[in-house]
A and B are shown apart, each in its own frame.
Chain A
Amino acid sequence: MGFSVFIIPILIMIILFTAILKGVKVYETFVAGAKDGFQSVYRIAPYLLTMLFAIDVFRRSGAMDYLINIISPLSHFLNIPEGVIPMIVIKPLSGSGALGVMTDIMKTYGVDSIEGKIAAVMMGSTETIFYTLSVYFGVCQIKKVRHSLPAALIAHIAGSLAAVYICYMFFK
């Protein structure tokens, strides 16, 4: 853990030194990049707001808890610990939400419990699909997203199941 804090400072130092040695005008180049960055945020804003609105309504209303209750019986069938089901449901929707659920699982079952380990592996293994999808396709005004959503969801489900069984293999 200790050394990972130094990755970013070292990385940025390497980048700056390489750039200046190659004769790049560092200040002006950085400004040009920053301009791109602001423009991208301006363009993704409506997509991000629209998607987060639906996700927030879905979560805050308790509709997501109903979905978790519906899925829970499946967990026995597939030999998944019931405690990690909320993690599987929330991960595609919200990154910060998933982080909260993971911390909650670790506090409830213990950070070194099998539930805690599975939640940690899930947290690091797949991204928040709905957010990524709406922002990435929004920025270039793509209307037909084709098979990207089902394929990403299949990746998520396969990853979630793999997280459970691989943690069983490693930690049980």
Chain B
Amino acid sequence: MINWIWFLMIIAGIISFLLKGDGKGLMETMTESAQKSIELLIGLGGIMAVWSGIMKLCEGAGIVDFIAKVLSFPMKLLFPGLERKNKKASGAIIMNIASNMMGLSNAATPFGIKAMEELQRINPDRERASDYMVTFLIVNAACIQLLPTTVLSIMSGLKSSNPTEIILPGVITTIIALVSGIISSIFLKRFYR
């Protein structure tokens, strides 16, 4: 599926360039996109290293276990039996969710990657995504943000009368997105082996 989407995005892009009569556009975009990716990766490398360091400190200090206790109920609901099978995986998932909740997306990515690596360790088929992985991806696609810091700062920059009033609708919206994602994954599961 991802192969087809990737293919279609590029083909649709090339056709649109040609329709506009823009012969140079593709070459320019290719160069710029590659440059931008490397800049992004260099920036990401630094910040990921810092947050992974903090993650290790949290593990060592027992902070992960503490947050795990707070979030144990939703975790049991979403990832039944995971804590028994791989404690490190559930710890990383918890830190990922916690940083998303606080709007720290830079911190969420390293925790998320760590979680996927740990989930891969208990995956029976190494080329096929496990149910835990799919659920984790959906949780990430619809992550609850209690403090969408970037959005709030842009809104106050544009002189909004009360930026914080979007927080509650945002939380409700995310819960709806999450629940529909989880329910649809239960139904879709049987069509994808």
Contacts and interface: CB of A to CB of B under 8 A. Distances in A.
A30 B50 CA distance: 8
Q: What is the interface of chain B mostly: helix, strand, loop, or mixed?
A: helix
B77 interface: no
List the 10 closest A-B pairs by CB distance, nearest first: A155-B181, A159-B177, A33-B56, A37-B52, A124-B148, A57-B13, A37-B49, A158-B180, A33-B53, A30-B53
A46 to B, nearest CB: 10
A56 to B, nearest CB: 4
Given A57-B26, A66-B16, A45 B172 contact: no
B142 A126 contact: yes
Interface of B: 1-2, 5-6, 9-10, 12-17, 20, 22, 25-26, 29-30, 32-34, 36-38, 40-41, 44-45, 48-58, 60-63, 102-105, 109-110, 112-114, 116-117, 119-120, 123, 126-129, 133-134, 136-138, 140-143, 145, 147-156, 158-161, 163-166, 168-170, 172-174, 176-178, 180-182, 184-185, 188-189, 191-193
Contacts of A42: 45
B166 A152 contact: no
Given A112-B160, A125-B173, A154-B180, A24 B137 contact: no
A29 B153 CA distance: 34
B142 A127 contact: yes
Interface size class of A (residues with CB under 8 A): 35 or more
Contact of A136 (B25, B104, B140, B173): B140
Contact of A41 (B2, B45, B127, B188): B45
A102 B160 CA distance: 14
A22 B60 contact: yes
Contact of A155 (B25, B40, B138, B145): B138
A38 B37 CA distance: 16
